[in-house]
């Protein structure tokens, strides 16, 4: 699994790097983000191979709960940066600490998972990375957050779903180990959106009918809003014009080589429709089904979308054998997107 694992897709970065309506500094911020991405790909590949190797080792005694640490890059690019005393001395480091701690609680309380690796891995975050850095990413071992340029994007710690999304890439890395290309790549991105959105709803105590299902709403800056953009992605309507990164909504639109940030719209819509049809809180049934489908069957790096859809159908029956309504909701949601 070579995981890009950033919240803003390369296509969006390239668009704004060429946008003459932006200042030279703003365009450079997007161009720099593209260059950093190329380097992180190589590092993530190494960390993922190590994760795969460690998953084959025999587990020892029950590990402790994960520590949460925050570092300040002070607008440099050397990781992890300078240690910050929790919960930090500025708003960004405080948010990184609080939301990461909450993600750990989310996975422990709802899914009985001890950190991203289920072994108590320390959850490390680095904030104030680079200058006007327009992204946030999981690099295979820790989280990194940019401050945004203040126009198109704001501080990436402002969005709880972004933090949940990126840390879920760690969960995938230590469980299904989905590759980051073609159909497995789309699934990889989708489960991060699914659990990122679920985490945001959990933090807000929102039922499925109250949630807006937008991804990255809180990091959209005034310049992006002035152009009519409201979010990065919309799980309820992936092709919507208010999305910075609109996506296909049916498997018939999938093409080999499609960016995982695009193809993830297909399983994203399936989860949304299943969760809404089931009702209540997304994590109570739909979330449990998706979590078990992702984590309970060992590494399957080349899993296709149809195979994942079939797995969720089987898991729905095994987890809720007397609940035909839940199975029907999952089945119809996948059928509606061509799977």
The C-alpha atoms of residue 59 and residue 238 are separated, in whole angstroms, by 40
Asked if 49 is an active-site residue, the reply is no
Residues 6+ apart with CB under 8 A from 217: 159, 161, 230, 231
Catalytic one among 37, 166, 183, 189?
Answer: 166
Task: Please tell me the distance from the alpha carbon of residue 319 to that of residue 317, in angstroms, as a whole number.
Answer: 6
Structure tokens belonging to residue 104:
């750990």
Among the listed residues 189, 261, 262, 272, the single catalytic one is 261
Query: Among this protein's residues, is 166 annotated catalytic?
Result: yes
Q: What is the 3-state secondary structure (H, E, C) of the chain?
A: CCCCCECCCHHHHHHHHCCCCCCHHHHHHHHHHHHHHHHHHHHHHHHHHHHHHHHCCCCCCCCCCCCEEEEECCCCCCCCCEEECCCCCCHHHHHHHHHHHHHHHHHHHHHCCCCCCCCCCCEEEEECCCCCCCCEEECCCCEEECCCCCCCECCHHHCHHHHHHHHHHHHHHCCCCCCCCHHHHHHHHHHHHHHHHHHHHHHHCCCCCCCCCEECHHHECHHHHHCCCCECEECCCCCCCCECCCCCCCHHHCCCCCCHHHHCHHHHHHHHHHHHHHCCCCCCCHHHHHHHHHHCCCCCCCCCHHHHHHHHHHHHHHHCCCCHHHHHHHHHHHHHCCC
Long-range contacts of 312-316 (CB under 8 A, 24+ apart): 315/289, 316/289
161 within 8 A of 200, measured Cβ to Cβ = yes
Catalytic residue positions, numbered: 166, 261
């Amino acid at each position: 699994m070579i995981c890009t694992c950033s919240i803003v897709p390369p296509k969006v970065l390239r668009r704004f790097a060429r946008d003459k309506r932006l200042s030279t500094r703003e365009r450079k911020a997007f161009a720099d983000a593209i260059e950093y991405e190329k380097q992180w790909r190589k590092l993530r590949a190494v960390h993922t191979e190590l994760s795969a190797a460690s998953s084959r080792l025999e587990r020892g005694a029950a590990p402790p709960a994960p520590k949460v640490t925050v570092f300040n890059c002070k607008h440099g690019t050397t990781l992890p940066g300078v240690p910050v005393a929790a919960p930090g001395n500025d708003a960004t480091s405080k948010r990184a600490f609080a939301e990461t701690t909450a993600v750990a609680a989310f996975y422990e309380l709802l899914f009985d998972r001890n950190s991203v690796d289920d072994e108590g891995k320390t959850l490390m975050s680095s904030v104030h990375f680079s200058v006007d850095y327009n992204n946030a990413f999981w690099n295979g071992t820790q989280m990194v957050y940019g401050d945004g340029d203040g126009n198109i994007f704001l501080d990436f710690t402002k969005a709880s779903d972004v933090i949940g999304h990126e840390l879920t890439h760690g969960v995938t890395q230590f469980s299904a180990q989905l590759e980051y290309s073609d159909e497995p790549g789309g699934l990889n991105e989708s489960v991060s959106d699914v659990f990122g959105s679920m985490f945001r709803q959990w933090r807000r105590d929102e039922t499925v009918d109250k949630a807006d299902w937008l991804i990255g709403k809180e990091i959209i800056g005034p310049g992006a809003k002035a152009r009519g953009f409201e979010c990065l992605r919309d799980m309820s309507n992936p092709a919507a014009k208010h999305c910075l990164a609109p996506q296909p909504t049916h498997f018939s639109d999938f093409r080999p080589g499609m960016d995982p940030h695009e193809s993830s719209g297909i399983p994203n819509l399936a989860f949304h429709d299943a969760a809404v049809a089931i009702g209540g809180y997304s994590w109570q049934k739909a979330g449990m089904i998706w979590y078990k489908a992702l984590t309970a069957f060992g590494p399957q790096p080349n899993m296709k979308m149809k195979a994942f859809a079939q797995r969720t159908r089987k898991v729905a029956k095994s987890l809720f054998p007397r609940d035909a309504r839940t199975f029907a909701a999952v089945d119809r949601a996948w059928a509606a997107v061509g799977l």
